[in-house]
Amino acid sequence: MKRPLIRNPDDAVECYAVALRSLERRWHAEKELESKLRQKGFGRQAVADAVERLRGERWIDDGRFAEAFARERARRRLGPERIRVELIGLGVDPQAASVAAQAAFEDGDQEAALAAACRKKSEALARRYGDAYLATDEGRNKLTASLLKQGYDYAAVRAAVRGLNRS
């Protein structure tokens, strides 16, 4: 589908309409949406006016966006640190990003998510390199690195990897 041409880059109403179409597809953080509108060619004032109107109508709410984003990423077995970093990268306030990332893991969900991610990755490594691979330092290091990259705490990852080797 061809992107519609912007008739007037300084038109806040047109900018608002383009922003709404973008929000129909998925929610955006405020700074992310501002950046997207600027990339489409809208002027600073048009973007500021459109974003202000969207904020007033509660189409944009970084707190709500961060919570929904964090829950979705947690369902995909990503850890709180990775979620926090992704939210900050999308322009969410670092404090709000930390709160949302931690809130995505209610009472013990983080340990369960880590255990599931550990199990899934260890099975994949065993299929690729053989069952004995995880008993080697290289196998444990590869599993540890994968889980750290997903955003889990180092101490929790080490405990999960040690627990896996005992079973």
Over its length of 167 residues, how does the chain's per-residue pLDDT go in tens digits? 455 566 777 888 999 999 999 999 889 999 999 999 999 999 999 999 999 999 999 999 999 999 999 999 998 889 999 999 999 999 999 999 999 999 998 766 788 888 889 999 999 999 999 989 999 999 999 999 999 999 998 999 999 998 876 65
CATH number of 12-56: 1.10.10
134 three-class SS: helix
CA distance 101 to 18: 30
Half-sphere exposure of 130 (CA within 13 A, CB side): 5
The model's pTM: 0.77
